[in-house]
Structures are given as C-alpha cells and as structure tokens.
Amino acid sequence: MIPPVRRPRRLRGTPAVRRLVAETRVRPAQLVLPVFVADGIAEPRPIGSLPGVVQHTLDSVRAEASRAVAAGLGGIVLFGVPEPDDKDATGSAGYAESGILNRAIAAVRAEVGDDLVIVADTCLDEFTDHGHCGVLAADGTVANDATVELYVQQAVSQAVAGTHFVSPSGMMDGQVAAIRAGLDLAGFTDVGILAYAAKYASAFYGPFREAVGSSLVGDRRAYQQDPANRREGRLEASLDELEGADILMVKPAGHYLDVLADVAAWSRVPVAAYQVSGEYAMIAAAAERGWIDRDAALLESTTAIVRAGADIVLTYAALELAGWLR
C-alpha cells in the first residue's frame, strides 16, 4: 500500500487537536434564553411538553435573568402569559402598561440593567381570545394593517417598560417599517428591532402553545410562511432589512438551515435563529427514553445552527450550553 499523502485524521486524533482546528465555535455570548412569565401564579410552574422549562413569576424571572448574566449569555427574550380572563379580541393586555409582559420587562430591566440584552416578544397571539397574532376582520382573517397599528402601540409600550429590543413575530406585511417609525416618533431611537423575518407555519411550535396557554383554533398558514418555500424566506428577510430591522431571525432553525444559510450569506445585519420548542422537546423526550445523549445532541444541534450562519441562537438550553461551553 502506498501511504496516503493526506491524512485528515491527524486533525481529529485528540480533543485538544479538535478544539484547535474547530471551524465553528459556539460562545455563551451569542445565546439568548426564551423565558415565559405568567400572571396569577405564586411560584414557577413546569411546562409539561418542555422538560426543564417553567412559567416564571415576576420574582423568579428576575432570578433567571441574574443567572443568565452570571452564565455570560447574550440576552433573554420575554413572553407574557396572561390570565385567561384578561384575553380579548384585540389582545389589549399585550400593550397595557399593567400587562404581565410589560411588568416582566420592567422587572428584568430593574434587576440586570444593561448587563443583559432584553428582547420583548412583540405579538398579540398570547393575549387574544382567538389565539391569532392580530385582530380579525369580518371574514375571520387577520387584518394586516389594523394589526400593525397595534404592534406599533405594543412596541412603544415595551420601550417605555425598558426593553432593549422589540421583536415583531406576527409576519404582518410592513410591520418593521411601521414599528421603526413609531418608536422613532415616540423618542425611542435607540431601541432596536429583532425581526422574525422568515417565520414558517411550522408543526414544531406545539409545546410553545402550551407554554403560553394559546387559545388558537385552526392555523396561521395565511400569514406565516409555507414550509415548502425557500426563496420566499430570503424575500421576507430582505424586506425587513430594508424596513430597518437591526437583526434578522429565521424560525424554526434546525429544519430550515438552508433558509438560514441563504439569509446569512447576504445579510448586512446580524442573523439570529430560533431553536423552537418542538425542536428542543424532541431532543429532551428522546433523551428521557435513553435513545440519545441529551447534552451531545443539544450541543450538536446548536453548533449546526451556528455553522449554517447564525450569529445569535435562541434556545431553551441556553443556560445549560453556557455552562458546558465555559
């Protein structure tokens, strides 16, 4: 046998060598932790379909934010869970100063200041009694322009509460431009927009809907993207960048790495990706059954998202990952 000229295995032989030549490196500072804050509960409440994830109280979310700072995470994204009686047709609890989400933003900002990037979910689905992301027209469809007006009101209220970034996730046409104008007119020119730019009507959101107590009947396919469409993801992201988004996001992450790579290849702003509830839950459930190694699968899946081009990863495993990475 003629010895091979190249032996790629030389660069795989030991953990130290593999660390030295790794092409993709995940850092705690690029991880963002999604957190749910519920009204009307006295202590954190576990979410059955998201092992290890809870609905927080205002006190426990402050502690969670402090843990995120200590772990070196880049940020936290806050989702509000109102009491069922507070839901209505327009999602008014989502932009009320006294609403759970705005109180959570204020509590976290008071706790950690500028040591952690605070991102607020800017959408109405948790707060509407019909579970859709906006107000309904007479024919039952989501009224785009009327919904965008409420997103502007919600974004400004979140800026008042102290968020660093608003994060419109409803996939309404023109939402980023309207929110940017609304924030600027209200004097919040330094509040950024992390836009859910390419958000697909995915089957992997199920556990999230349990986490927020969703009232949705039906689906959101008329306004979220068709999973069959790749080019459309780039179109949506390009529109959001042109409208003033500071960060673009692809959601879900793991099953849309092609879309993520497309957006990351041309974007002039940072790109985020969301490892959504179903993606996380599948790993957790398989690990509970002994079918896969939980830690290895979480790290591998996150590495793949960064390898595809994400500068920022939203994941429910952010605190665990940060501990391993450090």
CA distances from 179 to 5, 42, 64, 166, 168 (A): 58, 34, 29, 9, 9
- For strand 54-56 and strand 45-46, is the pairing parallel, antiparallel, or unpaired? antiparallel
Domain ranges of the chain: 26-325
User: Could you list the active site residues?
Assistant: 199, 251
- Per the rule left: phi > 0, alpha: psi between -120 and 50, beta: everything else, 253 is alpha
The count of residues in the chain is 326
C-alpha to C-alpha distance for 67 and 319, rounded to whole angstroms: 8
User: What's the CATH number for 26-325?
Assistant: 3.20.20.70
C-alpha to C-alpha distance for 273 and 109, rounded to whole angstroms: 24
Per-residue pLDDT of the chain (326 residues; tens, 9 = 90+): 888 889 999 999 999 999 999 999 999 999 999 999 999 999 999 999 999 999 999 999 999 999 999 999 999 999 999 999 999 999 999 999 999 999 999 999 999 999 999 999 999 999 999 989 999 999 999 999 999 999 999 999 999 999 999 999 999 999 999 999 999 999 999 999 999 999 999 999 988 888 888 887 778 889 999 999 999 999 999 999 999 999 999 999 999 999 999 999 999 999 999 999 999 999 999 999 999 999 999 999 999 999 999 999 999 999 999 999 98
